[in-house]
Amino acid sequence: MSISLHVICPNGHNLRHLGEFVYETGRWLVSEETARQVTRVHIHEKQKLPAYQGGNVISWRADPEGTGRYYFTYRATEDARIPCSGGWGQELAIVRHVEG
């Protein structure tokens, strides 16, 4: 199973540009098991709008402060600009994909 993580980041808030098409998200509260399965990240301005950015996850890391939150590093791709097909929580949605 893989997971697409959809998150709300208005105006690129908490996004870090690391290099050519590579970004790191702010920290998000998900379980470590979920973090391990995230293969795509989609960054949205608002829940009802398609993602304005996102891409393939390169790596993830736990918040060093031990908050149970995770950062995701991804390479931006044009095909990540999609609406969320799952149910939103307050600021994020976890969309599970079954392979096969």
List the chain pLDDT tens, one digit each, 100 residues: 899 999 999 988 899 999 999 999 999 999 999 999 999 999 999 999 999 999 999 999 999 999 999 999 999 999 999 999 999 999 999 999 987 6
Q: How far apart are the first and last CA of the chain?
A: 9
- What is the identity of the amino acid at 94? I
Global pTM value: 0.93
Listed by start position, the domains of the chain span 2-97
Neighbours of 32 (CB within 10 A): 11
